[in-house]
Amino acid sequence: MIGEGILSTNQKKHAYVQEGRTVGFYTDPTLCIGCKACEVACKEWNDVPDDGYRWSGNSYDNTDALGASTWRHVLFIEQDRPRGEQLAGPMSGDRLSDLTAHEDPFRWLFHSDVCKHCEEAGCLEACPTGSIVRTEVGSVLVQNDICNGCGYCVVWCPFGVIDRRKKPLHDAGGAFKCTFCYDRQASGLVPACAKACPTESIRFGPLDELHAYADRRVAHLRATGYPDAHNYDPQESVRGIHAFFLLLGEPEAYGLPPRPQVPTIYLRSAWTSAALTAFGALGAAFAAFWFL
Ligand code: SF4
Ligand code: SF4
Ligand code: SF4
């Protein structure tokens, strides 16, 4: 927690990998200042290549989306509604009622997105080479020296996170995404993005502790003028995510699916249909010979 200093789980050394303790990220846009230190720290620590400099014209977001060379992405969202009791622009009054009477309501949200490290991970289930594995801390890791670049994981991810790196970047063709800084964690270090975040908008720690904190955080925000605060941690199909978020308003505004689905949930019905079709065809063939 901010104010805990070196005792914060974002700062102190740990032994979660050795203990096999499930950890996660809780990312809170109400604390984010859009500094992008997380994006930069991720690129720097993991030697992720730059994927081009261009002006998107989309607020101050020139990164656009997560991808093979963008493992953290700070989304800039501009909305025509007030943010809690915050007043935007020059005021003709000092109360929210004055604002809504005389000013266009406006809020600016910053949301640091990342791989969700799903409990039921589509990428992991689809990978035919065993390149994608579950680690001791519950994260989902791509072992790039085993990846053959088939791209199955790309289409099986319900969040559009993982992607294949394009030429002429190094290791082009392979699939890449956030590693949850497994190498740092194995040495007792906090993931680079959380370590660099100056406001602890990205909060790293044991998943059970993060869930308890997240519930308290939402209750606090709702009691202090943010009625649309809620936690995004879909349970259906993906069975929970290890990098979960506080959101103000609807998930679609953040590019998050309200009901993400892992394709394997359709496997049972697909195999049942295939079996029924096969039995039907067999029965029809027998009937055809019988009545000949
Ligand atoms: S968000 Fe996508 S890439 Fe990340 S673990 Fe889930 S399925 Fe895999
Ligand atoms: S955990 Fe590590 S790899 Fe993942 S986004 Fe943060 S810095 Fe990048
Ligand atoms: S480092 Fe923290 S405050 Fe800065 S953009 Fe990332 S999440 Fe937001």
pLDDT at position 2 is: 58
pLDDT at position 263 over 90: no
Q: Residue 151 belongs to a domain with what CATH number? A: 3.30.70.20
CB burial of 147-179 (b: ≥16 within 10 Å; e: otherwise) equals beeeebbbebbbbebbbbbeeebebeebbbbbb
For residue 276, give both structure tokens: 């029924």
Which residues constitute the domain of residue 67? 5-261
Residue 37 domain-assigned (yes or no):
yes
Residue 224 domain-assigned (yes or no):
yes
- Could you give the CA distance from residue 124 to residue 147 in angstroms, rounded to a whole number? 12
Residue 107 domain-assigned (yes or no):
yes
Quick one: residue 199, left, alpha or beta (phi over 0 = left, psi -120 to 50 = alpha)? alpha
More confident residue, 29 or 291: 29
Residue 48 domain-assigned (yes or no):
yes
Q: What is the pTM of this model?
A: 0.88
Residue 159 domain-assigned (yes or no):
yes
Residue 278 domain-assigned (yes or no):
no
In this predicted model, what pLDDT tens digit does every residue of 170-206 receive, in sequence order? 899 999 999 999 999 999 999 999 999 999 999 999 9
Is any atom of ligand 2 closer than 6 Å to the C-beta of 192? yes
- Residues 107, 82: contact at Cβ < 8 Å? yes
Is any atom of ligand 2 closer than 6 Å to the C-beta of 182? no
pLDDT at position 91 is: 53
CA of 36 to the centre of ligand 3 (A): 5
In this predicted model, what pLDDT tens digit does every residue of 5-17 receive, in sequence order? 778 899 899 999 9
% residues pLDDT > 70 (the chain): 92
pLDDT at position 157 is: 97
Average pLDDT of 46-73? 92
Is any atom of ligand 3 closer than 6 Å to the C-beta of 153? no
Tell me the pLDDT of the chain averaged across its residues. Answer: 90
3-state SS class at 5: helix
Residue 275 domain-assigned (yes or no):
no
Is any atom of ligand 3 closer than 6 Å to the C-beta of 37? yes
Q: Indicate the helix (H) or strand (E) that contains 153.
A: helix 152-156
Specify the number of domains making up the chain: 1
Residue 282 domain-assigned (yes or no):
no
CA of 258 to the centre of ligand 3 (A): 24
